[in-house]
Amino acid sequence: MFSERWLCFCCPPMHKSPRRTIVAPIEQNPIQPESRLQLQTSRLSNRQKQKSELHLAAVVIIQTWFRRRRALFEIRRKTAWTIYQNIEYAGEQNQLKLYNFFLELMQTVSKNPRDATVAAKVLRRSSSLSGLAEELELKQLTSPTIINVESSYQGPHIDKPINREHFEALILAFQRGELLHAHYVLLILHELRHILKNLPNINIVSTHQTTCVTVVGDLHGSLADLMIIFHKNGLPSNENPYIFNGDIVDRGFQSIEVFLLISVALIVYPNNIYLNRGNHEDHVLNLRYGFMKEIIHKYKSHATRLLHLFENIYSWLPVASLIDDHIFVTHGGISNITDLTIINQIKRQKYVSVLSPSFIIPPNEDEFQIGNIPNDLLLEWRQILDLLWSDPKQSDGCEPNTYRGGGCYWGPDVTNDILEKHKWSLLIRSHECKEEGFDYTHDKKVLTVFSASNYYAVGSNRGAYVKVITNQPPLIVQFVSTKSSHKSLTLWERVSHVEEQAIQNLLEKFSVNQNRLIREFAVVDRKKTGRISINEWCDIVSRVLNLHLPWRTLKSRLVQTDSDGSIIYESTFRFKQLQVTLSVPTSERRTSLCQAIYRNKDLLETVFRAIDKDNSGVISMKEFTDVCVSLGHHNGTKFDGKQIMDLAASIDLDKNGVIDFNEFLEAFRIVDITDHFDDES
């Protein structure tokens, strides 16, 4: 019925193409084996090209990440380095301002130009030996025969003549942590002094026989660094000469051992071992930076004899060395007035302390006037001061070194003038810690070498020494001393550790100056919002702490900010690290007093040790009386014996007849309380 096919007239007809019959092709031209191999090779080449492009992209990404990471490390390390240097140099400035602090502390000296010498009078040591009587007195006080060696002593023994076997025995003993008996220390120091007295102001060094000489920079009591230098470069000998360029002592805990080893080397090889004086070879610096404390701790009852002898030995140390007539080696540097003719004529033994030279206070001080000091004497003093304290700068000129408080800054023009004047080719100096252990400046005419590694913290810097070889450029050798118990640190760990220690030191400054900072912040914050601008915060912190640091970079580690970018200044003292530094909460007045004592602790300890002339660890009534009489004389106030004894008794809390350091601090606290009440009234 429906056999017919229905078609739709509204749609166009559809034509279905017939099904094609698939017939397998017959290979008429098969691919040859050679062509197949070429095709496979082409495909493999394309794959390798794609992989190479992928590897190259990965390398670029990794390099970009690494460079950014390295740049971040460098910023963090430089910031930490700046913190360390600012705190260190601020400490040296404080030491040079010690005399003014002492006057303010006692509040007895009137504002008179002549009275500026009173503190130096209080801290002054006996002048350098100029007469037979003083020479005999020193020998009697410091003679080794005065001290007997106990039968129970198990350390190394030294006898005359001192030889290389003694030197090697001392090295082994010091590495084992043994302490040399005071009898032998005095014996070595007297032998050293005898040699030094016959040396010129400038050592004359030649490499024509030995072909080279090794220059070692600041060691600062680091026995580990000295041992590494001896291990890498060989022990001192006539064939292996050394120049030790000052700052042997202070800061480190083994200054006496380092100084004794170098002294014995000089005694055994007097014609090939040279020792220049540094700015820390000065009893005024030793008062603060640890060497005096180390001697008192290690030698107790014999400390006075040792300190007197060390002070005198410092004055006999040469101030520079000249290698092959064209390489000048000195601790600090030069200035626009540096003149070898003047330096060679100076009687260096007068300068027991370069910071407080004896001519500042003549024997008849009642007739003293500053204007009476001859210009040639001041020029002579400047020669010594500049050699030991100066630093190079990038710009031309010569100006006072206000950063350290002593010496000068000299520029490339001064270097060129002085080197040309004396026909030198290179100036080698130390005095500054460098991250790599060395640094060239002034078109490679000034080389700084620093030999104490890990100076600020573990990983903070490398140490270095320089080998001066005949007719060759200087060879610089770098090293880092690490204790066997410490694993080697990665770059990240090293930078993080250094940064952490630097921030901790900086937070300590915030801690002891908390009340002063809060007062300054409150003056700016008139509306009591607890917030100030970044500029105001940076200015106040820089002024109060007296540290010129990149505060904008550091603010994220020290303080919190609000959404507007303003500084929440009280947040600094809520930081976890700072809470560890701060003591438990106490009353506001007690906190202020603790901060005042802690802020001035180093200076107070320096003053205490200066008054303690016999280095007994306590101030006797005679020492206290001498200070009171001296200060009273210059202030016009006459103290009678009863007044002085009453004052001493009020400080001597345990009534044992002497004043120890804790009682000295307590007296300062009481004075501070009185001043506080006076201010309130």
Do 333 and 407 form a contact (C-beta atoms < 8 A)?
yes
Provide the residue type at 504 as one letter. Answer: Q
Measured distance CA(291)–CA(220) in Å, rounded: 10
Measured distance CA(253)–CA(257) in Å, rounded: 9
Give the residue-averaged pLDDT of 230-255. 95
Least confident of 389-393, 395-399, 476-480, 628-632: 628-632
Confidence label for 179 from pLDDT (cuts 50, 70 and 90): very high
Give the residue-averaged pLDDT of 409-418. 96
pLDDT in tens, 499-530: 676 777 777 778 777 888 888 888 888 888 88
Q: Is the peptide bond before 161 cis (omega within 30 degrees of 0)?
A: yes
pLDDT in tens, 120-134: 443 444 444 456 777
Largest CA distance in the chain: 156
Helix (H) or strand (E) holding 279: none
| DSSP designation for 12 | -
> Which conformational region is residue 397 in: left (phi greater than 0), alpha (psi within -120 to 50 degrees), or beta?
left
Helix pair 182-196, 303-316: axis angle to 10 deg = 20
Q: What are φ and ψ of residue 327, in 5° steps?
A: -120, 115
Task: State percent of the chain over pLDDT 70.
Answer: 68
Measured distance CA(103)–CA(122) in Å, rounded: 10
CA angle 343, 348, 352 (to 5 degrees): 140
pLDDT in tens, 323-341: 999 999 999 999 999 999 9
User: Can you list the domains of the chain with their CATH numbers?
Assistant: 46-125 (no CATH), 199-253+270-365+383-479 (3.60.21.10), 508-575 (1.10.238.10), 593-675 (1.10.238.10)
Task: State percent of the chain over pLDDT 90.
Answer: 39
> Does the annotation mark 190 as catalytic?
no
pLDDT at residue number 78: 66
pLDDT at residue number 564: 85
Helix (H) or strand (E) holding 425: none
Top mean pLDDT of 30-34, 178-182, 490-494 is at 178-182
pLDDT at residue number 119: 36
pLDDT at residue number 462: 92
Of the two residues 88 and 243, the one the predictor is more confident about is 243
pLDDT at residue number 557: 77
Least confident of 31-45, 88-102, 158-172, 375-389: 88-102
Strand, coil or helix: 659: strand
Q: Which residue has the tokens 């976890």?
A: 576
Measured distance CA(482)–CA(488) in Å, rounded: 8
Strand, coil or helix: 447: strand
pLDDT at residue number 104: 42
Helix (H) or strand (E) holding 129: none
Q: What are φ and ψ of residue 364, in 5° steps?
A: -95, 75
Least confident of 55-64, 257-266, 382-391, 659-668: 659-668
Measured distance CA(613)–CA(42) in Å, rounded: 92
pLDDT in tens, 345-363: 999 998 888 876 665 545 4
pLDDT at residue number 624: 77
Provide the residue type at 534 as one letter. Answer: I
Indicate which residue of 280, 302, 308, 431 is catalytic: 280
List Cα–Cα distances, 400 to 84, 89, 307, 346, 359, in angstroms.
Answer: 22, 14, 31, 22, 22
DSSP string, 534-589: HHHHHHHHHHHHT----HHHHHHHH-EE-TTS-EEGGGGGGSHHHHHHS-S---HH
Least confident of 89-103, 156-170, 437-451, 513-527: 89-103
Torsion angle of C-alpha atoms 604, 606, 607, 611, degrees rounded to 10: 140
Measured distance CA(124)–CA(361) in Å, rounded: 9
Q: What are φ and ψ of residue 432, in 5° steps?
A: -125, 130
pLDDT in tens, 294-327: 998 999 889 889 998 999 999 999 999 999 999 9
DSSP string, 197-258: TTS-SEEEE--TTTSEEEEE-B-TT-HHHHHHHHHHH----SSS-EEE-S--SSSSS-HHHH
Confidence label for 554 from pLDDT (cuts 50, 70 and 90): confident
Q: Could you tell me which of 168, 364, 176, 352 has the C-alpha nearest to residue 265?
A: 168
